[in-house]
Amino acid sequence: MSNLSSAILSEALAYANPVDIKGKLAELRETAPVSLVEPEGIRPYWAVTRLEDIRYIESNPQLFSAEPRAILILEALEKENQERFGEIMGVKTLVHMDGPRHMELRKITRDWFMPANISKLRGHVEELAAGFIERMKGMDGKCDFATDIAFWYPLRVVLQLIGIPEEDEAKILGLTQALFAPDAFATEEKDVMAVFFETITAMGEYFTLLIEDRRANPKDDIASLLSNATLDGELIDHFTLTSYFVLLSTAGHDTTSASLAGGIQALIQNPKQMELLLANPELYPQAADEIIRWVSPVKHFARTVLEDTELGGVPLKKGDTVAMFFESANRDETAIERAGEFDITRKSTKHMAFGYGRHNCLGMHLARMEVETFLRLLLPQLESLSLNGEPSYIPSHFVSGLSSLPITFKFK
Ligand code: HEM
């Protein structure tokens, strides 16, 4: 049994050491799969660590709502957000809302992310992946795969879809990293809350200009679609609209980057799996999905209990907060056979990395295709690939993955 308090599950900095987090999640799955956690500065919540319980929450939005709290943040920040924006989360995106409005808003961009459109994009994504592989070729046989390659490739894919120009990529990457891991940017002069407000303000300003531009000069991109979309005959209100842009421009790359870097790490650490993949190229799609399960970059989402109920035999009260730990669901041996093994031949896609139900990830087909494409183009060209130093991890209890992955490689 670990001596660490369960409160580490909502401590951003603890995620810089994933071993501790994985250990604590394994212990809770085993001993208390629905377990009350009372951290300092964050509302008490029930940590839910088994796959079936998480699926139950996601399948019953009439009992467990994404409103008003979709993630665990400081109570002081919730209060300040409420005063500044009238919303405790500081944004109002698809992940923060339920009911018919959620579905109406989701429908606006849905077709862009459905398999029919994703397969049309494949050729273009291949070109982008090939460009980043060329970049590796110019790197003298070593690089930090996370910061040099993985951060940038999914970023370019999704920003092109939205319609954000290449010269703004670094800005959007910086803002995304600050939004998802404000602890990594906090200093003595600027605390986590100040980082959050600075980031959300900069995003608001950036997307306001983009919206104005696409209203004046519509193009064939998601920015134009969203900026000009109407619901009940009216343009979407400004706060909801900028929030939508915040969601797409953040959720659409950090998660996929973390999966790609984590996938390269997992394949290096499991040479038999690498051999298997190289010998059986038809396994690339399955390998991509297994990588995403293995990495599980989205660490949690929260829900509010709407009426007194029970979960896994534990009574919950109306107003309680539950937090679904997706990474834990994906290591749950009671739901996934040999969940602790990285196995690219695994056929089932029953994992929870993309969530489940009405809020399930809109970008899942794109994310899988991006990871698959990159590996399929890169790996057969390599003569060798190895780790070249200690990796490090992003300190975030929301979206986390490798912040650094030094590697060496040789092209054939
Ligand atoms: C929602 C994971 C990539 C867009 C979500 C959720 C998870 C998730 C866990 C919440 C699901 C729930 O509450 O049931 C991931 C992972 C990714 C990834 C692991 C990469 C490996 C992407 C990409 C996009 C995207 C590429 C493209 C823009 C979205 C959107 C939502 C969402 C719009 C909100 C859906 C809603 O609430 O209706 N994602 N995501 N994601 N994701 Fe992803």
Question: Quick one: tokens of 206?
Answer: 């950036």
Cα(251) to centroid(ligand 1), Å: 6
Q: Which atom of ligand 1 is nearest to the CA of 352?
A: 9
pLDDT at 404: 98
Query: Could you read off the pLDDT of 345-369 as tens digits, one per residue?
Result: 998 768 999 999 999 999 999 999 9
Question: Averaged over 20-30, what is the pLDDT?
Answer: 97
Query: Could you read off the pLDDT of 205-227 as tens digits, one per residue?
Result: 999 999 999 999 999 999 999 99
Question: Quick one: tokens of 200?
Answer: 């959300």
Work out the mean pLDDT of the chain and round it to a whole number: 97
Percent of the chain residues topping a pLDDT of 90: 98
What are the distances in angstroms from CA 179 to CA 25, 70, 194?
Answer: 25, 15, 11
pLDDT at 1: 63
Pocket of ligand 1 (CB under 6 A): 58, 94-95, 106, 158, 247-248, 251-252, 255-256, 259, 292, 297-298, 301, 326, 353-357, 359-363, 366-367
pLDDT at 4: 85
Q: Which atom of ligand 1 is nearest to the CA of 94?
A: 37
Question: Residue 79: is its pLDDT beyond 90?
Answer: yes
Cα(250) to centroid(ligand 1), Å: 10
Q: Give the three-state DSSP class for 403.
A: strand
Question: Averaged over 230-236, what is the pLDDT?
Answer: 95
Question: Residue 74: is its pLDDT beyond 90?
Answer: yes
Question: Averaged over 62-66, what is the pLDDT?
Answer: 98
| Ligand 1 atom 12, closest CA | 355
Cα(282) to centroid(ligand 1), Å: 26
Query: Rounded to two decimals, what is the model's pTM?
Result: 0.97
Question: Averaged over 174-191, what is the pLDDT?
Answer: 94
Q: Which atom of ligand 1 is nearest to the CA of 95?
A: 37
Question: Averaged over 367-388, what is the pLDDT?
Answer: 98
What are the distances in angstroms from CA 367 to CA 122, 134, 330, 342, 375?
Answer: 12, 21, 17, 19, 13
Cα(299) to centroid(ligand 1), Å: 12
Q: Which atom of ligand 1 is nearest to the CA of 161?
A: 28
Query: Could you read off the pLDDT of 134-154 as tens digits, one per residue?
Result: 999 999 999 999 999 999 999
Is the bond leading into 68 cis (omega within 30 degrees of zero)?
yes
Cα(384) to centroid(ligand 1), Å: 33
Query: Could you read off the pLDDT of 167-178 as tens digits, one per residue?
Result: 999 999 999 999
Question: Residue 122: is its pLDDT beyond 70?
Answer: yes
pLDDT at 224: 98
pLDDT at 240: 97
Q: What is the ipTM of this complex?
A: 0.99
Q: Which atom of ligand 1 is nearest to the CA of 296?
A: 19
Query: Could you read off the pLDDT of 390-403 as tens digits, one per residue?
Result: 999 999 999 999 99
Cα distance between residue 289 and residue 25, in whole Å: 22
Cα distance between residue 100 and residue 103, in whole Å: 5
Task: Specify whether the CB–CB gap between 135 and 149 falls below 8 A.
Answer: yes
Cα distance between residue 111 and residue 76, in whole Å: 38
Question: Quick one: tokens of 250?
Answer: 């953040």
Query: Could you read off the pLDDT of 381-391 as tens digits, one per residue?
Result: 999 999 999 99
pLDDT at 349: 67
Q: Give the three-state DSSP class for 262.
A: helix
Cα(78) to centroid(ligand 1), Å: 23
Cα(385) to centroid(ligand 1), Å: 30
Q: Are strands 230-231 and 142-144 parallel, antiparallel or unpaired?
A: unpaired
pLDDT at 22: 97
N-to-C CA span, the chain: 47
pLDDT at 3: 76
Q: Which atom of ligand 1 is nearest to the CA of 357?
A: 14
| Ligand 1 atom 39, closest CA | 361
